[in-house]
Chain A
């Protein structure tokens, strides 16, 4: 079974500063990895995904993430954040073998961008 640990429940940063949101996963099989963002009173929006290939994945809104198999990590980064990036971010993992694997989410990281 897969599991996801998001190491920081809250991350406050100033506008235009860089940010890294950490995510570690555990799985006995190959996985697909995802980052989702949730704005207040909304559903989840896919930011980016890692399926295979290049370990550096670029997503929407200037975010990117790096898959590190040896460290079982998939940290999300943005070089310069905006006020509008204030939201909750969820890392998720799904097994890549078979169709019965469910998407497992971390507890989320609340990013607050201050002026």
Chain B
């Protein structure tokens, strides 16, 4: 079966712009989580969505937002981009929230802010 698909794979944006990243979970998975990965901070949790509702949120400013659609696909948006937002953004899906099988990750979107 198809894995978690993230688009685009690479993105270059200018400071002050906004960006939208997309994540299609594994078919049947209803929970989608987003993580930011940087060399300095490692993997940091952004938010988790289940049944189109944000169920859990990390400690990121309000410039970071997301949503989930009825088909479980999710998008995350970052407004007013800063240089420090350059990172690999990873999406992970699971059957349900807290599913003990863990999460299946996509290959990520590499965002570079210049």
Contact = CB atoms under 8 A, between A and B. Distances in A.
Contacts, number: 57
Contacts of B90: 43-44
Contacts of A41: 107
B69 to A, nearest CB: 20
Interface stretch (A18-26, A60-68, A76-84, A101-109): A101-109
B93 to A, nearest CB: 11
Nearest to A32: B100
Contacts of A36: 105
B46 to A, nearest CB: 10
Nearest to A96: B100
Nearest to A103: B103
A90 B43 contact: yes
Nearest to B45: A102
B104 interface: yes
B22 to A, nearest CB: 15
B43 A100 contact: no
Nearest to A105: B43
B33 interface: yes
Interface residues of B, number: 26
Contacts of B84: none
A87 to B, nearest CB: 14
Main secondary structure of the interface of A (DSSP, over half): loop
Contacts of A98: 98
Contacts of A45: 105
B96 A99 contact: yes
A45 B106 CA distance: 9
B42 A102 contact: no
Interface-centre pick from A36, A41, A43, A105 (highest chain B CB count, 10 A):
A43
Q: Which 8 A-B pairs have the closest CB atoms?
A: A99-B98, A99-B97, A43-B105, A105-B43, A44-B105, A43-B107, A107-B42, A102-B45
Interface of A: 32, 34, 36, 41-46, 49, 51, 90, 94, 96, 98-108
